[in-house]
A and B are shown apart, each in its own frame.
Chain A
Amino acid sequence: MRISTIAFANLRRRKGKALFLVAGMAIGIGTVVALWSLSGSIKDEIGAQLDRFGANIIILPQANSLALDYGGISVSGVSFDVQQLRDEDARRIFEIPYRKRLSVVAPKLLSAVEVEGRPVLLVGVDFSAELRLKRWWRIAGRKPEGEHELLAGYEAARDLGLIEPAGPPANAVPGSSHHRSEEQPEFTITRDRVRIGGREHRVTGVLSQTAGPEDRMLFGALAHVQALAARPGRLSVIEVSALCKDCPVEDIVAQIRQQLPHAKVSAIQQAVRARTEMVERLTRFSVVVSAVVLAIGALMIFTTMMGSVVERTREIGVLRAIGFRRVHVIQGLILEVAAISIAGGLLGWATGMLAGRAALPYFSDGGAGLEVRSSLALVAVVAGLLVGVLASIYPAIRASRLDPSEAVRHM
């Protein structure tokens, strides 16, 4: 016979009330577990999507620049000590410790060329990397595959007379293709040949208007553009998309800086901030809802325990009369609640995980999976214990302070 014997025997006697408390606790904890599991999965999914949605790190050649100002008149600046980026730099990025976090490394060479008397920016890219990086690009036609094949931005294509703005299909020349978006036609491709550096190139695709800088560019295979520009192996910029689920992008930036000391490596803060803000919002939402649910659970336990103390005044009085200290009374009541809380926490974890799994398809596009985390079971039990014990402290203290003579009089 120990105090725990009395506590557990009492729970057995009041099965209905104990089950009610366990169920209440399980619902509260289960809601929190489901919420955290769901928000965790959704956070991961959003993070992964944001990470994939464009570059979050940009690498440029290191250069010192000097702004030129003469008598208050600003003259264009000059750059000196310009370092060079090379093909092997793009490969060396994959040697950083966080290389598994690298989703896309897209090297580029920018070169100004003249096409049919017009200056155009020709960008040499690795098309497979570039198209993985720029998932929002929509190509009318197909991506270039051969050395002499190009992809044209919307404005560049329009200025070079490669396309005509949307019109009836009758305006299209024979053999041309007609590009329509889902809602309305955007443009019609009228011709597909251009001469650059004395050689003919075929424009295999035109980008739908993006309102970005790529609208004014032509894109070709990196090696070909390097040859055209007479800058073999040289790069102007490397864009990197890093998956930063569990790591700050700044760490990856630091590692790339270490790998490429001659380059200027910086995180695109907008992308980082967007991700951080989204994750923080979800976390705040989870915290607030969890706090409300747990507060309701605590209130339920508090009122039940207060009622239980009143109901058990006589019993507590007898225990005090036969020599139980106040601390023994508190111990007995807390043990009861602890047993309920542990059961409720475990049940809550199980139901929360099941509910989370059932609800996930309604909140996710299917990219996220609900990870069954046993560590969350421990958190659920500890949270249940904390809520249960904290909510019972006052009723338990109140019970311990019952005057035994009053309790005996209650008899």
Chain B
Amino acid sequence: MPFVVLENVGKLYREKGAASAARVLSGVNLRIREGEFACLMGPSGSGKSTLLTIVGAMSRPSEGRVLVDGIDVYALPEERRADFRREYLGFVFQQHHLMPYLNALENAMLPLATLRLRAPEKRRRALAVLEKVGLANLASRLPNQLSGGEQGRLAIARAIVNDPPLILADEPTGTLDSKTGAEIMDVFLGLNAQGQTIFMVTHNADNALLAHRTIQIRDGRVADGDGADVPASAV
């Protein structure tokens, strides 16, 4: 049973005042298995980020269905969808988008802020993920006191602190040099090795080669999205 299923997903964007809508995605069928590391590649404007936000329960598709762990994501009411994002998804953004006024530990704890957990438990969890990404000794630093690679790792720590089943990453190495990018990819691969499902948008073919599967998107259409070519043993 695939963990993520997109059925005939399409997306139309209508700019304010525009007479007609622009089609960004069309008839996308996609399946990602639990524990799979899938990369989405395509040229700029092909609809990669749009597809990621649709899988991320942030942008309702104009047509089709999105199922994650059997949950019809867009059948959920708005506030329940926010809960779903917190429980099921971890986001890693291209610019990392860390809160500049919170230190590394607080940034890692951010997704726990709305949970009814005791402060020591939140702290324990955040320290554990910082340890996991190798930032435990930099917990008190502000983001601007961290290098690009450290910021990337901190963004990953924030994404996994809730122990979500699925990580969505939008070109997480896009702004990093190749060495730092490789470090970030190592973190992703390490997480995947522990069973973490990862869906990553990337421009970098070398990164894509490290994934189990690369899904190509062009003009809003996905080829071979069902992953039938990936042997289950590889995941």
Contacts from A to B (Cβ < 8 Å): 1-3, 5-6, 9-10, 12-13, 314-315, 318-328, 403-405, 408-409, 411
Contacts and interface: CB of A to CB of B under 8 A. Distances in A.
Contacts of A9: 99, 101-102, 106
Given A318-B93, A326-B78, A411-B95, A405 B58 contact: yes
A313 to B, nearest CB: 11
Contacts of A13: 100-101
A334 to B, nearest CB: 15
A1 B53 contact: no
A3 B83 contact: no
B106 A323 contact: no
B101 A1 contact: no
Contacts of B122: 1
Contacts of A2: 113
B12 to A, nearest CB: 14
Given A3-B113, A405-B59, A327 B83 contact: no
A321 B88 CA distance: 12
Contacts of B123: 1
Given A3-B113, A318-B97, 7 more contacts: A1-B119, A3-B114, A6-B102, A321-B58, A324-B113, A327-B79, A408-B49
A320 B79 CA distance: 10
A1 B109 contact: yes
Interface in B127-162: 158, 162
Given A318-B97, A323-B86, A405 B53 contact: yes
Interface residues of B, number: 38
Nearest to A320: B82
A324 B112 contact: no
18 contacts: A1-B109, A1-B119, A5-B106, A6-B110, A9-B102, A318-B93, A319-B110, A320-B58, A321-B58, A323-B86, A323-B87, A323-B111, A325-B79, A326-B79, A328-B114, A405-B59, A408-B53, A408-B170
Interface in B72-103: 78-79, 82-83, 85-87, 89-91, 93-95, 97, 99-102
A284 B199 CA distance: 66
A11 to B, nearest CB: 9
Contacts of A327: 79
B136 to A, nearest CB: 17
Contacts of B82: 320, 323-326
B101 A404 contact: no
Contacts of B89: 323
A322 B86 contact: yes
Given A13-B100, A323-B162, A325-B83, A408 B111 contact: no
Interface of B: 49-50, 53, 56, 58-59, 78-79, 82-83, 85-87, 89-91, 93-95, 97, 99-102, 106, 109-114, 119, 122-123, 126, 158, 162, 170
B38 to A, nearest CB: 20
A322 B53 contact: no
Contact of B101 (A12, A314, A323): A12
A1 B49 contact: no
Contacts of B94: 411
Contacts of B86: 322-324
Contact of A1 (B83, B90, B93, B106): B106
Contacts of B78: 326
Given A324-B82, A325-B83, A409-B49, A314 B110 contact: no
Contacts of B114: 3, 323-325, 328
B58 A315 contact: no
B69 to A, nearest CB: 16
B102 A323 contact: no
Contacts of A404: 53, 58-59
A322 B110 contact: yes
Contact of B91 (A1, A321, A409): A321
A315 B50 CA distance: 19
A323 B109 CA distance: 13
A3 B112 CA distance: 10
Nearest to A407: B58
A411 B113 contact: no
A327 B162 CA distance: 20
Given A328-B114, A404-B58, A321 B85 contact: yes
A109 B64 CA distance: 102
Looking at B53, B58, B99, which has the most chain A CB atoms within 10 Å of its CB?
B58
A170 B217 CA distance: 122
B143 to A, nearest CB: 12
A5 B58 contact: no
Contacts of A1: 106, 109-110, 112-113, 119, 122-123, 126
B4 to A, nearest CB: 17
